[in-house]
Amino acid sequence: MDYYDSQQTNDYMQPEEDWDRDMLLDPAWEKQQRKTFTAWCNSHLRKAGTQIENIEEDFRDGLKLMLLLEVISGERLAKPERGKMRVHKISNVNKALDFIASKGVKLVSIGAEEIVDGNVKMTLGMIWTIILRFAIQDISVEETSAKEGLLLWCQRKTAPYKNVNIQNFHISWKDGLGFCALIHRHRPELIDYGKLRKDDPLTNLNTAFDVAEKYLDIPKMLDAEDIVGTARPDEKAIMTYVSSFYHAFSGAQKAETAANRICKVLAVNQENEQLMEDYEKLASDLLEWIRRTIPWLENRAPENTMQAMQQKLEDFRDYRRLHKPPKVQEKCQLEINFNTLQTKLRLSNRPAFMPSEGKMVSDINNAWGGLEQAEKGYEEWLLNEIRRLERLDHLAEKFRQKASIHESWTDGKEAMLQQKDYETATLSEIKALLKKHEAFESDLAAHQDRVEQIAAIAQELNELDYYDSPSVNARCQKICDQWDNLGALTQKRREALERTEKLLETIDQLYLEYAKRAAPFNNWMEGAMEDLQDTFIVHTIEEIQGLTTAHEQFKATLPDADKERQAILGIHNEVSKIVQTYHVNMAGTNPYTTITPQEINGKWDHVRQLVPRRDQALLEEHTRQQQNERLRKQFGAQANVIGPWIQTKMEEIGRISIEMHGTLEDQLSHLRQYEKSIINYKPKIDQLEGDHQQIQEALIFDNKHTNYTMEHIRVGWEQLLTTIARTINEVENQILTRDAKGISQEQMNEFRASFNHFDRKKTGMMDSEDFRACLISMGYNMGEAEFARIMSIVDPNRLGVVTFQAFIDFMSRETADTDTADQVMASFKILAGDKNYITVDELRRELPPDQAEYCIARMAPYSGPDAVPGALDYMSFSTALYGESDL
């Protein structure tokens, strides 16, 4: 089955039928097609600031597929669906397929479902269809087109080169000489073709691919190893890559035919050259600052302490508050200077100013975008690092507390378990030792959870890269080793006691009961003391309320616990009474436990003391969270006012820029008053910055009371200042154009009315199709070449849009008085009199010194039959003023 069936040129598609029909693809070809098609798509998608990584995955939702078609066609597609459901993805892919079909391409058996499902064969077939339609079909060489035309172009270009015989788009390119020949034919300085060898295809291919990527802006779409290692390289991959050479060299040839126009008036030339130098210097300084600042923002070296991270955050705030605002103003001024320079160049019929490589306004905007992206990433990293250090400090303190409690509990336990007191003990003492050992084992098991918690906390500290992890690990290992030893000693002592257990018959039930109840109660008290002293971190009112509720529930259990304590003490008192009554030789100690009533009472008193402290800590935290909530609401209330205000002002400025009320001076005055009112709003922005700083100092990370962040407000404010400044500059340039061309206010209004009528999208700019319709409505009858010439005048940067300033420049030039040059040359004849020349002394006498010297430096001396030393002729004067193209 065919993936693609063109209604116009079916012949060049026939070689692909077998592969498409059987749905089979050689793995090596599939690999080549993946890389080539991905690189080809990215070469266009990068114009829109994006790219793809996986060709069958990244086109599944249809968004980047629609964007690719818009970039390569220069047309707008239907608005895409932004949902994540399958139906939304299918809808977007269908819109892309419908657009392809609208270009005269008949798609067979390629459905949106296969693309959404990530069918690699269908996806590669669809991309090949797009490449054929938009990159190959329109190629025309000597009455041949598409594939045949591209092949004929390759044959013509490589004909003079030895060892190159291009007959197809697969094996003819395996040795790499074909690619090198194409590059050398157009750019001989890039490759030393004489040093290439046919028997070294890898070197030839890699040389061609590297040079094309570095100097011709052709991305690397193929791997030399894949081409050499494949008996028959994939034809589609080779065609796609070779078509990039065709378009690159075809565009270069057209560019070489464009000539720079000579400046009209010398004084304007001087001023424009100075503006160019100022722009270059300001652009270089700004780019250098961005270049120096981005590495600082990209530095992710972590700090070990919260204080150090807080200092980094403060340095970042100083950068935002002190260092960046002047650069924002410089960037705005740079754009204003650029627009003013372009306007003056158009008024003097000069070519548009093209800054040095990497210093275009778009380059600066891209660099600025990278700076802001680095800012965002740096701020997020700072906040995440602060959270991480906060978490680490909490975990480290918790580890120390639990480790100290455990070490305190295990102190002396090993020595106790190694005692041999059972060897000389009486029968009752032996039985008492056995019961005591059973109670110890119960206590040991109760402490198992604490040991596991200690190990878990140590593990988490290691995973979070805690700076003091070695000491934590050493302490944790010591605790674990000691715990294992305690287990072994406990088992060994039990075995010894059980061997003598047969000799024991008497047991004191009261001591046993005391031990069994005292041990868990003692563990409960230790756990309660640990919980009451445990630190906590909360970020919301709800979290602190949850902790308070849990604490209240704990306090509700204290009466029952006190009853248990009194019951345990009652058992001990009863034992003491029995010992005293029956003169039992117990030495006043409980053989089954080491927990004394004094210890129970002491820990109980400690628990009672810790409860009000916990109450106070929770109350203080609750107060702090209430203050944080107040800060959230305060920030949210202001942000919810300032955000819409900025948006409203942006929309109002847009309306002012396209309205026709009053003269241009009235509009300029209105805009400057508007600018003043915006600047007067700055204190509210500063107040919001202050509130934001308080929020950050309070470590508040979210705010449910507003959808606006300080970053949104900053960006919107900077865009508002830039927009009002740019709009004022545009009106000033319109006044400059009007005065320079002698345009009346009524003509300006007519120009504005026509422009607004054909600005269908109401963006303040006409796209190329709207501009074409406007010219046709005004009586222009032009073909594609003439329209392309006009577009090169009104859109020198090839952005695909026409501003109102460019529109009135063009219209004024079309309607302006054409007698200016004749008048200037008539002035020359007045100064020359009956002669055909002007002497240097006469020129210095009639013109200002700097203008006279500038003319003299650029004019050839008089060379007529009666040449006079130090004289300038008519032809030299005319050439210096208007250039040979105007003569």
Higher pLDDT, 584 or 186: 186
What is the three-class DSSP state of 107?
Answer: strand
Give the distance, in angstroms, between the CA of residue 676 and the centroid of all CA atoms in the same chain.
Answer: 34
State residue 819's pLDDT score.
Answer: 42
Residue 336 CB: number of other CB atoms within 10 A? Answer: 18
* Among candidate residues 628, 630, 632, 639, the one with its CA nearest the CA of residue 688: 639
State residue 188's pLDDT score.
Answer: 92
Beta bridge partners of 196: none
Out of 72-81, 507-516, 662-671, the most confident range is: 72-81
Mean pLDDT along residues 121-149: 84
Side chain identity, residue 755: F
CA distance 671 to 828: 43
CA distance 585 to 433: 14
Contacts of 696 (CB under 8 A, 6+ apart): 313, 317
How far is residue 814 from each of residues 318, 774, 807, 818, measured CA to CA in Å? Answer: 53, 15, 11, 9
Position 864 confidence tier, pLDDT thresholds 50, 70, 90: low
Question: Is 283 within 8 Å of 334 (Cβ atoms)?
Answer: yes
Mean pLDDT along residues 228-252: 87
* Tens-digit pLDDT profile for residues 818-836: 444 455 566 677 777 777 7
Provide the sign of the torsion angle of the four alpha carbons 193, 194, 199, 203, taken in this order.
Answer: negative
Question: Is 848 within 8 Å of 878 (Cβ atoms)?
Answer: no
Report the percentage of the chain scoring pLDDT > 70. Answer: 86
* Tens-digit pLDDT profile for residues 11-31: 333 334 333 433 345 777 788
Q: Rg of the chain's alpha carbons, rounded to an integer?
A: 43
CA distance 128 to 30: 12
State residue 441's pLDDT score.
Answer: 83
Out of 68-72, 469-473, 584-588, 632-636, the most confident range is: 68-72
* Tens-digit pLDDT profile for residues 34-77: 889 899 999 889 988 999 999 888 888 988 889 998 998 888 88
pLDDT at 475 over 60: yes
Question: Is 437 within 8 Å of 493 (Cβ atoms)?
Answer: yes
Out of 41-50, 319-328, 469-478, 770-779, the most confident range is: 41-50
CA distance 289 to 327: 9
Mean pLDDT, rounded, of the chain: 79
pLDDT at 179 over 90: yes
State residue 168's pLDDT score.
Answer: 93
Position 258 confidence tier, pLDDT thresholds 50, 70, 90: very low
* Tens-digit pLDDT profile for residues 210-232: 999 999 889 988 888 988 888 89
Mean pLDDT lowest for which of 93-107, 498-512, 659-673?
Answer: 498-512
State residue 4's pLDDT score.
Answer: 33
How far is residue 786 from each of residues 775, 776, 839, measured CA to CA in Å? Answer: 12, 12, 43
pLDDT at 423 over 80: no
- Here the contacts of 63-66 (C-beta below 8 Å, separation 24 or greater) are 63/92, 65/92, 65/93, 65/96, 65/115, 66/92, 66/95, 66/96, 66/99
